[in-house]
């Protein structure tokens, strides 16, 4: 039987609280034992990735308590209940099935007389067939010409994840000759967003993907009409240039206004939808269905490893537990995601939503207030850009911010140049290695302005190169980390009521039914 208890009711958490500031790794990493520590505190992941936590404030004593916490909180059992189809989203009384879109982890999940895995696989097959027909010129524009660009219209999880995944693989696809179509994205209801994308596109050869699970998302539908207006004025039939990704019950389903419709259901949350049809359509059109299949394989392999109850062999679970120790015992308020890969330029923005929308909660699964901190603030920027931006605060600011580095031995394009005895990729990796040690060890100086206190904990996920498979594994790692932390805090990580109030007030403003401060602020903008 699974017990959904608050974190502060667990005996192992009380033990963990007594271990605040237990470990300092500064001297160990700076001394002769540093290499041994780096080798010891590493966990192999799937798709050739490794999670290294040698620069975290962790030792074997803490690992023992974290293992006990994982066992007492029944984290692996809760994950099993989730992928076997229990109603884990208590706020909306829904299953949580994004793991199932990329492979079977447990027993069959049935609902409304439907096998969920079979449904998701059928959508993947339909998208693959459609993408193949587009690439082969069997589906064309009105003049029989091939589509060369795909443009996704969506917001939130319908934009952030798919956009980040496309950018992550664009240069890989170019280098491997598998870039089938360029992709662009329209998300913001600000008309300058849509206008800018349209101005950069060849409309006659552009295929648009409208993504809205409900078919009623205000910003997305506004952008759809914005795009259709441009298409019509260009003498093009919007119905010949647009497909939909939606639910089977939405007004967009089986609608003749679209070339085709592909489906998701209520059990796939937006921020966890990159491996569903939401990401599948744009990524399959851009890179081909084989690349998307490899992406799903990497994610599934990471999901399988997340089933392991041994935290030293389960990178996502260990990452979640260390993050909880940093948030709830060490009292660190934020986490920085720092990919030393330009391909992952939008990955931190995606994780902002995935983490903060999931675990930015102040009540538990039963709607009761919790008496401890929950999700941290997530932010980030690719290296080395961030080094010339916010690293100043990270190194010498008054708050300690845990860091999560991501890096690769090789770049995606295979193109590089040697300057001053080393390639640009070597310089990038040298900066990454240097920053890990600089944050952990610091540097003493008699000049206070040049003194670095150190003691800034970090982890590193690294691999040979960023491919569809390793990207899938990286994405699933963070999705599973977020899930495990939600279980620890006893939250419902799969609803997002925090976005609803603003939507409601926006409709009130647009309908004219406002007064007081709301009316005054609306009047500023002539509404």
pLDDT digits (tens, 9 = 90+) for 350-373: 999 999 999 999 999 999 999 999
Mean pLDDT of the chain: 97
User: 73 and 134 share a domain?
Assistant: no
pLDDT band at 32; cut points 50, 70, 90: confident
Averaged pLDDT for residues 494-514 = 89
Asked whether the predicted pLDDT for residue 500 surpasses 90, the reply is no
* Any domain includes 2: no
Residues 312 and 241 in one domain: no
> Does the structure show a pLDDT above 90 at 255?
yes
Say if residue 174 is in the same domain as residue 94: no
Whether residue 514 has pLDDT greater than 90: no
Average pLDDT over residues 47-74: 98
Query: At 503, is the pLDDT very low, low, confident or very high (cuts 50, 70, 90)?
Result: confident
| Interatomic CA distance for residues 317 and 319, integer angstroms | 5
Please report the pLDDT score of residue 206 as a whole number. Answer: 98
Q: Are residues 360 and 430 in the same domain?
A: yes
Regarding whether 112 and 85 lie in a shared domain, the answer is no
User: Among 294, 316, 331, where does a domain finish?
Assistant: 294
Residue 369 lies in a domain: yes
Mean pLDDT to the nearest integer, 473-499: 97
pLDDT, position 470: 98
d(CA 519, CA 523): 6
- Window from 30-39, 64-73, 399-408 with minimum mean pLDDT: 30-39
pLDDT value of position 483? 98
Is residue 67 a part of any domain in this protein? Answer: yes
Instruction: Count the neighbouring beta carbons within 10 Å of the beta carbon of residue 215.
Output: 17
Counted domains in the chain:
3
Query: Cα separation of 116 and 108, whole Å?
Result: 8
d(C-alpha 54, C-alpha 326), whole Å: 15
Same domain, 471 and 401: yes
> Is the domain of 286 the same as that of 373?
no
Residue 386's pLDDT is what?
A: 96
| Same domain assignment for residues 258 and 201 | yes
Looking at the structure, do residues 405 and 513 belong to the same domain, yes or no? no
Residues annotated as part of the active site: 357, 388, 503
Nearest to 7 by CA among 369, 345, 409: 369
In a domain, 179, yes or no: yes
Supply the DSSP symbol for 480. H
Q: How far is CA 502 from CA 208, 508, 509, 519, in A?
A: 28, 10, 10, 14
The Cα 493–Cα 96 span in angstroms is: 10
Same domain, 484 and 500: no
Domain enclosing residue 143, as ranges? 108-294
- pLDDT category at 434 given cuts 50, 70, 90 is very high
Does residue 309 lie in a domain region? Answer: yes
> Which of the listed residues 294, 327, 350 is the one where a domain comes to its end?
294
**Two tokens, residue 194:** 């849509």
pLDDT reported for residue 256: 93
Look at strands 50-52 and 110-111 and give their pairing: unpaired
- Residue ending a domain, choose from 233, 268, 294: 294
pLDDT for residue 216 = 85
Q: Over the stretch 256-314, which tens digit does the pLDDT of each residue have?
A: 999 999 999 999 999 999 999 999 999 999 999 999 999 999 999 999 999 999 999 99
pLDDT surpasses 90 at 175: yes
Same domain? For 289 and 164 the reply is: yes
Whether the model pTM is above 0.95: yes
The domain that holds 207 is classified in CATH as 3.40.50.10490
- Residue-wise burial string across 68-86, b where 16 or more C-beta atoms lie within 10 A, e elsewhere: bbbebbbbbebbbbbbebe
């Amino acid at each position: 039987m699974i017990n959904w208890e608050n974190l502060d009711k667990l005996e192992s958490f009380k033990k963990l609280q007594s271990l605040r500031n237990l470990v300092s790794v500064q001297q160990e990493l700076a001394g002769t034992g540093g290499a041994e520590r780096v080798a010891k505190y590493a966990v192999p992941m799937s798709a050739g990735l490794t999670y290294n936590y040698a620069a975290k404030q962790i030792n074997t004593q803490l690992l023992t308590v974290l293992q006990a916490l994982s066992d007492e909180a029944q984290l692996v059992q809760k994950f099993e209940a989730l992928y076997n189809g229990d109603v884990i989203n208590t706020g909306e009384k829904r299953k949580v099935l994004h793991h199932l879109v990329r492979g079977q982890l447990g027993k069959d999940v049935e609902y409304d007389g439907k096998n969920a895995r079979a449904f998701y696989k059928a959508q993947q097959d339909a998208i693959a067939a459609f993408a193949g027909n587009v690439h082969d010129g069997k589906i064309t524009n009105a003049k029989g010409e091939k589509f060369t660009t795909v443009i996704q219209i969506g917001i939130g999880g319908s934009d952030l994840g798919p956009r980040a995944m496309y950018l992550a693989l664009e240069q890989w696809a170019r280098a491997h000759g598998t870039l089938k179509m360029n992709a662009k994205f329209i998300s913001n209801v600000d008309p300058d967003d849509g206008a800018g994308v349209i101005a950069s596109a060849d409309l006659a050869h552009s295929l648009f993907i409208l993504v809205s699970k409900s078919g009623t998302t205000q910003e997305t539908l506004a952008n759809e009409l914005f795009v259709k207006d441009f298409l019509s004025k260009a003498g093009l039939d919007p119905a010949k240039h647009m497909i939909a990704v939606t639910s089977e019950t939405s007004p967009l389903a089986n609608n003749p206004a679209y070339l085709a419709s592909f489906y998701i259901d209520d059990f796939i949350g937006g921020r966890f939808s990159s491996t569903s049809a939401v990401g599948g359509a744009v990524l399959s059109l851009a890179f081909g269905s084989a690349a998307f299949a490899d992406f799903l394989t990497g994610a599934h392999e990471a999901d399988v490893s997340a089933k392991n109850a041994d935290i030293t062999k389960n990178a996502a679970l260990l990452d979640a537990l260390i993050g909880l120790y940093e948030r709830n015992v060490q009292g660190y308020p934020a986490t920085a995601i720092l990919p030393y890969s330009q391909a992952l330029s939008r990955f931190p923005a995606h994780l902002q939503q995935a983490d903060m929308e999931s675990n930015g909660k102040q009540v538990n699964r039963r709607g009761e207030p919790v008496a401890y901190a929950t999700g941290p603030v997530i932010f980030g920027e690719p290296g080395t850009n961030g080094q010339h931006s916010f690293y100043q605060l990270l190194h010498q600011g008054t708050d300690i911010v845990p860091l999560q580095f991501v890096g690769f031995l090789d770049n995606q394009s295979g193109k590089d140049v040697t300057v001053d005895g080393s390639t640009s990729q070597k310089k990038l990796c040298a900066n990454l290695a240097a920053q890990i040690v600089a944050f952990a060890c610091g540097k003493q100086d008699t000049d206070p302005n040049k003194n670095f206190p150190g003691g800034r904990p970090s982890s590193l996920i690294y691999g040979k190169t960023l491919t569809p498979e390793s990207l899938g594994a990286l994405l699933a790692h963070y999705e599973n980390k977020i899930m495990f932390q939600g279980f620890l805090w006893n939250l419902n990580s799969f609803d997002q009521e925090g976005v609803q109030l603003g939507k409601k007030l926006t409709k009130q403003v647009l309908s004219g039914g406002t007064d007081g401060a709301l009316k005054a602020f609306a009047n500023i903008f002539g509404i």
